Chain A
């Protein structure tokens, strides 16, 4: 097995549907951004941020979620139908959470 494992700088050939995908180095940069955001989340959890902690952590996790979905899962480059299928699942999940939250917290 070759010892060279560094990603290449080649840009992808266009796929059959004509979309250019990111290069290996672009994927590495995205991964670095994700790692930095993770580090920021962990650092925040040790700080005394009061009421800003929870919204801050949730916002950062949503950003990471979106970056992985858009870039690594190629949703920003692919057909809109895939995006709709996935977002529908997320919307239903959030609806389920809200429904259960209301059911458990209704005043008697």
Chain B
């Protein structure tokens, strides 16, 4: 992702030089990456679903530990962070620097709140006796949600980096694509959580 502030020259969106597809290589790369991430999370979700109900009898099961109201609030927080992310992109596309900073910081804070909620949830589960080695439910659950949590954390770090650059005036309309690329990643972690919340928490 280039953050050059050089004057955009003729080419595709964002001032890139002409490409064979007429599209930004960075954007194609991000979508291809997200496609590969679908495979990663598809495998993890598949594993969880296949191991569902296969744990040793007498060990901890999902109804023993899940707090649906708490996780629902977490899900809502992450959903709203997708809104603030797209508002940040809309702001920089019309060169509204102030709103860009506001929405970027809000998105990062909402993401951090979600990760904090997940971390708190993990500590509660561990205290109740569910850890990575307890049973198939424990291992598949922690690996799936842990990988997602790491992705969200990395997303928060990217957002804070963008915010820092925005505060220093390093992000202008010419760099809107950079914000868009981070936004695509952020929305992806949100849609993965949409699936995890339904398949892991809500479906009995």
Query: Hey, which bits of chain A sit against chain B, CB under 8 A?
Result: 1-2, 5, 7-8, 10, 12-13, 15-17, 21, 23-24, 27-28, 30-31, 34-35, 38, 41-42, 44-45, 53-54, 57-58, 60-61, 64-65, 68-69, 71-74, 79, 81-82, 85-86, 88-90, 92-94, 96-97, 100-101, 104
Contacts and interface: CB of A to CB of B under 8 A. Distances in A.
Nearest to B8: A16
Contact of B46 (A2, A7, A13, A96): A96
B203 A93 contact: no
Chain B at the A interface: SS class: helix
Interface residues of B, number: 57
Contact of B202 (A17, A57, A65, A85): A57
Given A53-B204, A72-B86, A93-B42, 16 more contacts: A2-B98, A15-B13, A15-B93, A17-B13, A21-B93, A34-B82, A57-B202, A57-B203, A58-B203, A61-B195, A65-B191, A81-B28, A86-B34, A89-B35, A97-B45, A104-B50
Nearest to A58: B198
21 contacts: A2-B98, A5-B99, A13-B93, A23-B90, A24-B87, A28-B83, A34-B79, A34-B82, A53-B203, A54-B203, A61-B194, A72-B190, A85-B32, A86-B35, A90-B38, A92-B38, A93-B38, A93-B39, A96-B42, A96-B46, A100-B46
A82 B28 contact: yes
Contacts of B194: 61, 64-65, 68
Contact of B75 (A23, A38, A54): A38
Contacts of A16: 12-13
Contacts of B90: 7, 12, 21, 23-24, 27
Interface string B1-16: 0000000000011000
Interface in B133-186: 180, 183-184
A49 to B, nearest CB: 10
B132 interface: no
B67 to A, nearest CB: 12
Nearest 7 A/B pairs, CB to CB: A93-B42, A89-B35, A89-B38, A61-B198, A31-B83, A97-B46, A85-B31
A19 B89 CA distance: 15
A42 B171 CA distance: 39
A43 to B, nearest CB: 10
Contacts of B42: 90, 92-94, 96-97
Contacts of A93: 38-39, 41-43, 46
